[in-house]
Structure formats: C-alpha cells, structure tokens
Structure 1
Amino acid sequence: MVIVRSLLRRGARVVQDAGRWRLAGTALLLAVALFVAGWDWSRPLGGAGSQREIPTADAERGLYDWRAAAFAPRAEQDRRVLMVVYDDQTLIATRKRSPLDRGLLARALRNMDAMGAKSIGIDILFDQPQDEDQQLIDALRSMRTPVWLGYANFGDNREQIIFEQQQYLDSFLAQVRTDRVRPASIRLETDADNVARSWPRPTQGQPPLLSLAMQPSPLFNDYRGAIRFRKPLRQADGSETPVIPSLQIDLIADPAMAGALAPMVEGRHVLIGGDIVDIDQFETSLSGRQAKSTMIGLEVHGTMLAQLLDGARLPAIPQWALWGAAALVVLAAGLTSLAELRWFWLAPALGVQAGAIIGLPLWLQASGWDTKGLPAAGWGLGWVIAFAAVSAAARAVTSQQRRFAQSALGKYLPRDIAAQILAEPEKLALHGEKRPIYTLFTDLEGFTKLSHAIAPEMVAQLLNRYLDMLSDVVLAHGGTIDKFVGDAVVAFWGAPIARDDDGRKAAQAAYAMWQAGEAFRRDLPPGVPPIGRTRVGLHHGEAIVGNFGGEGRIQYTALGDSMNTAARLESANKPLETSVLVSREAMVLSGLDWWRPMGRVRLRGRATPVDLFEPAPGFAGEEREVLTQALAAFDTEDADARRDALAQLRAVADRHPEDAALANLVYRYEYIGDGGIYGLG
C-alpha cells in the first residue's frame, strides 16, 4: 500500500506540473501504445477488404510462425486421410500438363469406389474441355462413394479462373451432379505475405469448404481460426514419415495394383490433386522450420480435414482479453517509469515484465490456444512507447522541479552539493548528527549605526548587495550558508557533505570575505557615510548538524560549542584590531602557510584560552617565524627569554608601524607581564 500511495502521489504531481500540452502529448502516446498493444494484427485497419495493416504486422507474423512451428504437435502418419496425386512423373507419362489427364482420373475413381473409400475430394478445376470428359462424366455419375468436386467462383477467384472457365465449370458440374457428386469450395486464404495460416472465410455463392463437405462438423461451421499444422514424428533412426501419406494416381488407376492398394484406401478420406513443382504451392507457418519450404494446396486441405476429424478447434483469445492485456502492459510500463526504481530493483521488475510479455504468448500456444492475432510484438512495442511517454513527462517535471529546487538550494549550498542532495535527499533528513565542521561568522562594523542615518530603501539595497557578495564567496568556496542575522553571515564547511579540502576552502573563504567587505565599502553610492570593516571568525570543532524544526517548517543549521567559539573569534577582531581571526584547530587543518600568530587570549565567556592566527599572505615568512618563536618563549618560565621575546615583538611591530594588529599584540604581551593570559571582557 505504501508503494501504491507513493506511485499515486508521484503520478498526481506529474499530472499537476506537466502542463496542458505535455499532458496532451503524453496521453496521445499512451493511446498509441494501447492501440499497438491491443490491436489484432490479423485484422486490416480499414475494415474488411482493406489492405492497410498495423505497422507491426510483419513482426507479428514472424513471431506467430515461430510459435506455431515450435509448438506444432508431432504426429504419426494419419491413417484417416490419403492424398492421391498427379506429380511431375505422371505428367511426363501422360504427356499432359494442363488440363490434367481426365481419363486417368476416371479409371482411378472407379478403382477407389471399389476399394471402399469413405469420401473423395477432388482439388482440380474442370474449367475447360478435354477429350476424356465423357469418360470422367460416366465415372462420376456411377460413383457410390461421396465425391466432392473442386469449385471456384469467378467473383472471388479472378486470379485462378476467368469468365469463360467459370461457364464451362458450371456446365460440367451440372452434367455430373448426383446425390453422390456435389461441388465443394477449394478456396484457400493467405495473409498479406502469401502464407496460409487460417481457415478461409466463406464467400457468398460458394459451396461448403472441401474439408467440411467431406466430414461435416457443426463445431467447425463458423471456425475462422488458425490451421493446426502438424510435424512428422521422428523415427529412432532420425527419419521422418509424412503425416499425410500420398500415392501416385497412376498406381491407383492401374487395375493390377488395385488389390494391393485397397487397404490404403478403404475407410479413408481421399484427396485428389496435383503435387507439381511451382503449381498450387503454399508457404505455411512451418515453412521456416522444415526442409520443404512449401506445402501443396492438397495437403493444406488434408491438414484442415485432419484438424476437423480431431475436433481440434483452437480456442480464440477474446478481444476484451487482448485489450485488457494491452491495458495492463501500458499500466505496468507507466508505473515502472513512475517508480524510479534503483537498478537492483529495476532489473528484476523489468525481468518479470519481459518474462510475462515474452512468455505468455508461448504458454498460450503451447496450451493449445489460437494465438494468431495475439499482438506479441505489440505488447513489447506498446510497453516501450508507454514507458518512454511517461518517463519523458516525469523527467520533464522532475527536471523542472529539480531546477527549481537546485536554484533554491543553490542560494545556500554549493551547486555540486545541491545536486548531490537532490540525488540523495536522505542526506537532509529531519534529524541531527554530531560531526566536525568549520564554522565561520562575519559582522559588518558600524552597519547598525549607518542604518539609522540613511533611507530604509538604501539600507535594503546596500544590505542585499553586501549579503550577495559574501554569499557568493561562501558558495564559490564550497561552503553552506547557515543563516543571515542582520548584516552577519553564518556559514560552515563539512556538512551536509564533507570533503577533503574543506579546511583549505574555509580558510580561503574567510580571507576572501574580508576582501569582499573591503570592496563593498570602497564602492558605496554617493552620500552614504563610510562603513566599517568586515570582521571574520573561523573555528574547527564538533557541532550538531541537521534539519531542526518540524515537518512543516525546518531549517538546516548547526548547533553547539563550535558555533559559539567562531562567534567569539569574530567579536575578538574589534578589541584586537584584526579583521580575520582563526583558531589553531582551523589553522592546522587548512594546510596553508600564510598564517601569522596573534597570541593566546581568553575569549569572552570562555574559560579555555585560544591560540589565534591571522591570514597574512603578504607578510614575510621570516617575520612570521620570528613571531612564532617569540610567542613560544612566553610559554616558558625563563624571565630572560620572555624579555627577549617581547623585544623581538617590539622590533617586528616597529618595522611595520602601520600594522595596528601587531601594535595591539605587543601591547597585550606588555600588559600581561610574566605569565597569565590576556582576557577579553
């Protein structure tokens, strides 16, 4: 339920934020996906008689043929059906190719009538006269066995018969028709790729289909599904015996052979037709999986007759089920896209869906269902279209939200950290954690007094410009802006994401913020009184960092003694006449060599003294060394060493008479005398 609610919320956000045109485009693509995944590919797009097909029809035909061939049942030789054929050897022997020798057919019919055939179907059109016609007419009129003569109609078989042939065919059938001899349709249907896959649809004016005429079955009267093709059973030696046996018509017509062949004819449905190279050859679903790539029309009729005899009416998948499956495919794709799963969840989710899309058609085919028309490729393509449509809309909305969020976070966090937070929002969870950070406080000297001396509009303009300048420095150096307190800026490094160079960046930012403050005070508008220095304090220590407040209103901030120490360092700049003060902890971790020591003091409200350092990149290195050694001497009990150290401090200060901070340092060590710590009030 939690997952469902999450998906619903995300879906609602996408709908709400996508915009009218993006929603319309997404809805259109989803409709296309549903159509592709649900349309029965065997049905033309423009209705009956139309030649337009769904674009995936070729792929669907290939997949169906593969399924049908892979799961086609293997069968022993069928003892209920026999094909009697004119083959190429027959044509050579009779010296007739078209029309086929009807005298030979007449003799064969008389013999089969005596052999006890169950029924006889003739897949030959008698559409033109021949010298042996009277022999055949006499034979047909004397038949006791039911005989079905092949019939084709000029109206729907224009490629096989012309008007004059139709007239002769009708005339011939009228002469031979008895209660035992009647016409039957030998029409077979092929798909757009000329492959025979389905039982033909009846057409107006046609007699019953040959297979149904030979073995009537109410179960198949309205059947228009797939032909169940069978594959021969493999023998132990690897050979295969044809599923439907065949004999040359020459043998059947020979009186000397009649007795020997009678067991093969007795009680069987006999189909008579041609097995001639390049004539009446059909590709079937098995064509790609067998050495013989085509099947004669006579064998197609025999296959349909055997299917009818077995009662193997393949159940069709209802249209509502196809559209329901299509809706599930589109829904699954959309939900998968909305879920934004991690790869270790996405991979199995995609695997399950792919398995269902690929496996269900195979399972249905193997279970005996008619999967002709089932959009197997359509399911896959529909899934891809739906996934891409929802994913594109969700990405666009997420990108829009991300840009807004990143813009908002970018006002307080560096751009790379903001991007990482958006990717891993748990890093800003509603809790606090103790971690070492670099804390920085600033203050603009005299700004409060100035705010009473100029117009409020100018105060707001100056303050915004000043805070923008300092904020840019913080973000440029990878820091996090904690808060603004009037003209003061509070920032820290090491949270929410800690990096190896945080110490160096924080120290550089402290110095750069003082420089930005100096640039600001030099560029004041005309009429604005002078503004004092920007003072900065930087300390490294542990603090509690996290989101504090509540679900409705939160602030990401740091709390603890480290923050207080940094604030006291900033305040110490004024009495010590410095601009940037850094604690020893922050100085050591910065890795920079520009520091000069500014002595040890006890900060206001603090019991433990702090060693102070000031960034002085322009101060000579040997002078920094003198200061370091001199201040170290004050930690000893040697009075002479302390006096020498004080003299060294005075000498350095005398060499820099303009440096008020050095003068203040000398004053402090003169004031504290032997031992003791200079304390700030």
Structure 2
Amino acid sequence: MATGAEQVSAGATEKLTRSARGLRTRMHQTWRKVGPWRLAITFLFLALALFIARYSWERVPIAADIERMLYDVRSTSMAPRVAQDDRIVMVVFNDQTLIETGRRSPLDRVTLAKALAKLDTLGAKGIGIDILIDQATPEDQQLVDAFKALRTPTYLAFVSAETNPDFVEYGQEEFLRAFQQSIAGGAVKPASVLFESDLTDNVIRSWPNQPTSLPALLSNALTPVHPEFRQYIGAIRFRYPADPERPVFAKLPIQLFTGDFPAEALRDQIAGRYVLIGGDIFDVDQFETPATRVQGGTTIGLEVHAHMLAQLLDGAMFKAVSPSMLWAAAILVVLAGALTAMLDVRPWLLGLILLAQIAIILLIPYWAQARDVDTQYLPVFGWVAGWFIAFAAVGTAARAVGSEQRRFAQSALGKYLPRDVANLIMRDPDRLALHGEKREIYALFTDLEGFTKLSHAIAPEMVAFLLNRYLDMLSETVLRHGGTIDKFVGDAVVAFWGAPISRVDDPDRAVEAAIAMYEAGEAFRRSAPDGVPPIGCTRVGLHFGEAIVGNFGGEGRIQYTALGDSMNAAARLESANKQLKTTVLVSETVAKRSTFSHFRPMGRVAVRGRSTPFAVYEPVPHLPEADVTRLTALVERFDNGDKTALEELESYASDHPEDAAIANLVYRLHEVGPGGSFVLD
C-alpha cells in the first residue's frame, strides 16, 4: 500500500506529465495552424529578440547605455568593502603644493627630487611615478641627479603619441625618451601609465590593452608576482572602504617629504610598501569609474593605478564570459519567453512564472559578479527585452490560432521539390507518410558571406527584401537542376539530389547547380539596391554519401529532409571554402561520379566528425582545360613524392597572382607534405 509521501510524489509527477503533454500539444497546434505570414513575422521578432539578447551591450543604441549603467550599479554594490590596504601608499602633489611652489605645469622638479631622495631612505618596496617628464625646465639636472642616486626600484611614467594621440604629441614623446635615456642604467626604468576608458561614456572599467610597443604597465612593472596580468584586459577590481573615515589607500602630501619634517617619523608609513607618486589636483588627471557614475564625483588616475596594483598583488583576475556562453544565454532567455507564452495556465500562475523568470535573469549577474566573473558584457537589459519580445511574438501568434489554416498542397510542394517529384507525390500521397529510408544522395550546402553582419547595418525591411530575393534566386536554381530543397537556415540553402527519386545524371545536375548557385549569388551581389553595403560571395559545398531521407516531424507538421554524415560533410566543405580561398568545393566522391571535366584538385583535408581525410576539388568551368590537366598532374606528382612538382605549382601561382585558391593550395602542400592532409578549423 502506497504511503502518503509516495501518493503526493505520484500526483506531482502526473501533474508535471500532463503539463508537459499539454504544452507539446499547444505548440503543435499553434505551429500547425498559424499562417505563413504570421509565422514569418513571429520568427522575425524572435530573431530580433535573439539579436537584442545577445548584442544589446555592443550594438543596440540606448540599450548599451542601460547595460553600462546596470553594470556600474552591480559592480559597485558587489565590490569588496575592505580595511585600509597597508601594502600601498599614495604620495601626491595637491593644490596646496602648487600654491607653495608657484608652479602648475610642469610640476616642480625640485619638489619631486627632494621627495625621492627622502623616500629612498625609508625602505619602500618600489616607487611608481605617474608624472610625465615631457618638457624641459631649468631644474631638470637636479631631478636627473636624484634619479641616478636612487637605490629603490623606481618606475617613471611613459606614454607614446601612437597609443595616446589625444594627449601626447611627438615632441613630448621625444623628450620623454631622451630624459629616460639620460637616467638609464640605474634603479629607474620606464613604465606605461596608459588607461583605456569606454569609448561610449568615457568611464574606466577595464585594464587597458598593453601593446608590446610600450613598457610594462605601472602595476605590472612594480611587481612580478602575477605575470599573467601582462595580458589581462578584464575588469578592474575597485574596492571600497569598510570605514568611510579610512580610505582604501593612505594618501600623503608630498610636502611631508620635502621640508624639515623628520624622515624617521614617516618610516612606518613607507617601509615595505609600494609608493605611488602622482597628482591629486582639481580638474587634472580625474577619471570616472563605476562608483563615481553611481555615487558622483571623480577618481584621480593615481588611485586607479593603486586599485590595479592591489588587484595584481591579490591575483584577483576576473573570469571572462565566453561568446558561446553569451549565445547560449541569449537563446535560453528567448526560448524561455517563447515557451512561457505557450503555457495554458491560470493568469495568476502565469504571472508568478513570469516574475520568477525575470527575477532569475536579473539576479544571475549579481551571483556571477560575487564569484569573480567579469559581468561587463552580460546583456542583462537585452535578456529582459529579448524575453518580453519573444513572449509577445509567440503569444500573439498563439492567440491567432484557429482564425487561419495552414495550406499544404501542390503549390507548396513546388517551392521545395522539382515539378516531376511534386507531381509524383500528389499522385501518391502515401509518400508523405512519416518514415525514413537509407539513400545515396548528393548533399549541397550554401552560405552567403557576411550576410549576418550586413543585416545589422541595414533596415529590417531591406534585410527581409534582400534575403527573400536571394533565396528565391537560389531556390529557382536548385529546382531548375532537378534538386530537392531541404531547408533554409538564415541565408543558407540546404538541398540534395537522389531522393525522393534518383536519376542517372544526378551528379552532373548537382555539380551544375553548385556552379549556377555561385553565379546566381554573384548576380545578386551586382544587382543590390543603392545604399546597400557590399555583399559577400556565395560559397557552396557538395558531397556524395549515404543519408536517411524521409518525412519527419509528426503528423501535424512534417518536413521532407535528409539526415546523416553526408549532410555534415557537405556543410564542412561549404565552410572550408573560406580557409581554402575557394567558392565551390566538391568531395572526391562527387568528382569521380560526374562527367564534368573541369575539376582542379585542392588537396586533401580532414574535417571534424570524420576519421578519414579526403580529397576535395573545385569546379572551374572558365579555366582552360590545359591548366586543369596541368594542375591535376602536378598535385598527383607531389603526392607521389616529387618535390619539383611543388616548385612548378609555385611558379604557376606566381604567374596567376589573382588566383588566391592556388596560392593557398601551395601553402597547404608546403605545410602537410606529400600525401598529407590539412586539418580544417
């Protein structure tokens, strides 16, 4: 006899099962009955939702500003609250220093020289100077003498006109180099003080890119404990005081080290610490950080260096979020919004589910930030917006179910199948039964180079117009050559020959179609409307092999498609065009079966998912037959170990500098050697 707990568990399981079954049924009915135009609009909005959920930080105006604001609030609220850091002390020129010295720019060199001489006696671990010595003064020799006398490892600020053209001229850089050369050989070395603020709002959030043309960044130069920070460009870990009365870093005025104040009284403040010297002057060297954006005010550049040095000393390197994770998150939130719209539950329960999902989306970045993940580029606002767009788009389509019926007849079949195949299916409807069979097919994949990037640069209406026109041209080409259109994946066309009926000349039809699809893509490029940025070429991959072909998808919504290794191989060949500098690639299995004679060999390649490398060929109908024969013979000779063949290939490539594919072939043959295979990415 079942216990009460077992009965409750069984009841909960049954409810979950009924809910899942109901969701599947509702999805099935929705996509079965919604009209094609509404379906297209729904998918367009889903694509928009996905775009915003992935790129709102980078490419969506206004949303990008919101994302940065959310990050600033998040990083400030989750930042460590710490006691004063006893490893670093700042010694600053301040406005009182300027009053006392009567100098504003350049800063008084005598004051700096006196301070350095006294600091050198107090046992500092290292000294970093964020002051540019970029112009001459009468007191320069006194400062040079002070630098040469130093025994403490010291690093003097350096920037270049190339990396910081807005603030440094070439004349200043030349003086910097000459001055640092004059003190070379002692304890003083140059260090970069370059910062990189966000171009959108001029806020410093990340470590700068550290080009090899510059010396090490000041923080990296002062200590070698974590050399991996030499390549780090992630978020700066700003820390904030646990006690508002005691800042994170002690700040001493430089006047303490230039007058009659006894040096020994300052030893406890300096000994064993890193000393950073720089300015704390009103309206000079002031920066915005996430905290100042939230709380107001600015931060001096010297304090930013102090935070970076403390972060380096702690080895606190934030973990970056990979692009694949960002894509996965974007897809997940859009999918969650779409599926939530399909739920058939009470309004109050739907409201709770909605609030729970939005709360999770908003809390995940805080959870990640607390675990030292760099959440700078998490598109949190984009996730929420994408979720709502997907929810609204699918919900609108779902509410329209019942008012429209999906038509599936000969006219629809004719858009995907050649006319004779469509007529055959219409005469024998049993061919639409859900089943699959193993067939040998010629599988073809295409891709339009750069169309995704192009779609971000033009209006959505123009994207839809261009994409529909392009797919019409390629679809007509497939059907004209007797092929079956499997599917469209964005701008990609998937097609095959050999099913549901096969013909003796299928290999020639497939090869001719592949060439014609590339040429149709070129015609599409040339006929683009005015104002549309340049469109890339169409790349095609063609492979012969076994596949499972048939109708799949369920009784209410079926698709005649092919599954298997041959489809994957064709897709790999299509993507290989980019690496091999070709436009149409066919496998050896296709070249051997076709009567087409103008195939030139493109070497042997190894692709993911296939254990055995195979030869690939490029159909070149416009290349003289003599050239095709010559290239085929040379590649064969090289594979048989004749090194002179490679020299002849190099000569051919030199005579045809416009032929990037041949140049690439020569490069690959050099790399892999006779009989070798090139591993594709």
> Where on the TM-score scale, by shorter chain, does this alignment land: which range?
0.5 to 0.7
Matched, 1:104 2:120: no
Q: How does 1:217-232 map to 2 (within 5 A)?
A: 217-232=226-241
Counterpart of 1:248?
253
Is 1:39–1:323's contact at 8 Å kept on the other side of the alignment? no
Does structure 1 retain, via aligned residues, the 8 Å contact 2:88–2:274?
A: yes
Structure 1 residues 71 and 163, CA, compared in 2 at 3 Å: closer, same or farther?
Answer: same
What is the 5 A alignment of 1:642-661?
A: none
Is structure 2 residue 289 aligned with structure 1 residue 284? Answer: yes
Aligned partner of 2:173 in structure 1 is 166
Report if aligned partners of 2:56, 2:64 keep a CA contact under 8 Å in 1. no
Q: Deviations over 1:214-261 (max 9, x none)?
A: 112223222211111111112xxxx52111111111112235331211
Q: Which amino acid aligns with 1:247?
A: L
SS in 1 for 2:262: helix
How far off its partner does 1:390 sit?
1.1
Q: CA deviation at 1:399?
A: 4.3
Deviation at 1:272, TM superposition (A): 0.6
CA contact (8 A) 1:226 1:370 kept: yes
Could you say which residue in structure 2 is the equivalent of 1:94?
101
Which string of whole-angstrom CA distances, capped at 9 and with x for unpartnered residues, describes residues 42-69 of structure 1?
A: xx55xxxxxxx65411001111111111
Kindly tell me: are residues 55 and 16 of structure 1, through their superposed partners in 2, closer, same or farther at Cα, counting changes over 3 Å? farther
Q: Spell out structure 1 runs of 4+ moving beyond 4 A.
A: none
Q: Is the 8 A contact 1:330 1:382 kept in 2?
A: yes
* CA drift at 1:25: 2.2
What does residue range 264-663 of structure 1 map to in structure 2 within 5 Å? Answer: 264-290=269-295, 293-400=297-404
Q: Compared with structure 1, are the counterparts of its residues 273 and 398 closer, same or farther at alpha carbon in structure 2 (3 Å cutoff)?
A: farther
What is the one-letter code of the residue matched to 2:256?
A: L
2:279 alignment partner, SS class: strand
User: Is contact 1:314-1:369 (8 Å) kept?
Assistant: yes
Q: 1:287 to 1:280 in 2, by over 3 A?
A: same
Matched, 1:17 2:22: no
Q: Paired residue for 1:677?
A: none
Residue pair 1:119, 1:146 contacting (<8 A) in 2 also: yes
Report Cα offsets for 1:83-129 as digits up to 9, x if no partner: 11000000000000000001110111111111111111111111110
Indicate whether 1:30 and 2:46 are aligned.
yes
Q: Which residue of 1 aligns with 2:158?
A: 151
Aligned: 1:121 with 2:128: yes
Q: Describe the superposition over 1:335-382 as per-residue Cα deviations: whole angstroms up to 9, x where unpaired.
A: 011113221220221121011111111222223322111111111011
> Within the alignment, does 1:7 sit opposite 2:23 as a pair?
yes
Report the identity percentage: 49
Question: Could you tell me which amino acid in structure 1 is paired with residue 397 of structure 2?
Answer: A
In the alignment, the residues of structure 1 paired with residue 51 and residue 27 of structure 2 have an alpha-carbon distance, to the nearest angstrom, of: 22
SS of structure 2 residue aligned to 1:189 = coil
Q: 2:185 aligns with which of 151, 163, 178?
A: 178
C-alpha deviation, 1:4, in angstroms: 2.8
Length-normalised TM-score, structure 2: 0.55
Paired with 1:247 and 1:92, the residues of 2 have a C-alpha distance of 17
SS at the partner of 1:286? helix
How far is 1:172 from its partner? 0.9
TM-score, scaled to structure 1: 0.55
Amino acid at match of 1:266: A
| Structure 1 letter corresponding to 2:22 | S
Q: Is the 8 A contact 2:150 2:186 kept in 1?
A: no
Q: What is the Cα deviation at residue 288 of structure 1?
A: 4.2
Deviation at 1:23, TM superposition (A): 2.1
Once the two structures are superposed, what CA deviation does each residue of 1:532-568 show, in whole Å capped at 9, x if it has no partner? xxxxxxxxxxxxxxxxxxxxxxxxxxxxxxxxxxxxx
* Aligned equivalent of 2:268: 263
Is the CA contact (8 Å cut-off) linking 2:159 and 2:194 kept in structure 1?
Answer: yes
Q: Is the 8 A contact 1:127 1:168 kept in 2?
A: yes
CA distance in 2, matches of 1:147, 1:35: 49
Report whether the alignment pairs 1:81 with 2:88: yes
Question: 1:271 aligns to what SS in structure 2?
Answer: strand
Cα pair 1:37 1:378 within 8 Å, conserved: yes
| Counterpart-to-counterpart distance in 2, 1:389 and 1:396 | 11
CA offset digits 1:304-351 (Å, max 9, x no partner): 101111111122223222221211111110001111322122022112
User: How far is the alpha carbon of 1:197 from its aligned partner?
Assistant: 0.8
Find the aligned partners of 1:21 and 1:289 in 2 and give their Cα distance. 46
- The answer to whether structure 1 residue 190 and structure 2 residue 197 are counterparts is yes
Say how many residue pairs are matched.
Answer: 388
Distance in 2, matches of 1:340 and 1:398, equals 15
Q: Distance in 1 between matches of 2:279 and 2:403?
A: 69
How much has 1:210 moved relative to structure 2?
0.7
Contact 1:232 1:243 in 2 (8 A): yes
Structure 2 CA distance, aligned partners of 1:176 and 1:10? 78
Q: Distance in 1 between matches of 2:402 and 2:307?
A: 58
Residues in 2 aligned to 1:60 and 1:204: alpha-carbon distance in whole angstroms: 32
Residues 129 and 351 (structure 1), Cα distance of their counterparts in 2 relative to 1, 3 Å cut: same
Deviation digits for residues 253-306 of structure 1 (CA, Å, limit 9, x no counterpart):
23533121121111111111100001111111111454x621100000001101
Structure whose CA Rg is larger = 1
SS at match of 1:83: strand
Counterpart Cα distance in 1 of 2:127 and 2:402: 72
User: Cα distance, 1:204 vs. partner?
Assistant: 4.5
Q: Do 1:219 and 1:311's aligned partners in 2 also have CA atoms closer than 8 Å?
A: no
- Report deviation, 1:40: 7.3
Contact 1:37 1:380 in 2 (8 A): yes
Paired position in structure 2 for 1:233: 242
Q: Does 1:65 align with 2:81?
A: no
Q: Could you tell me how far apart the structure 2 residues matched to 1:263 and 1:31 are?
A: 62
CA distance in 2, matches of 1:116, 1:255: 19
Q: Equivalent residue of 1:120, what SS?
A: strand
Partner deviation per Cα, 1:156-175 (whole Å, 9 max, x = no partner):
21111112111111111111
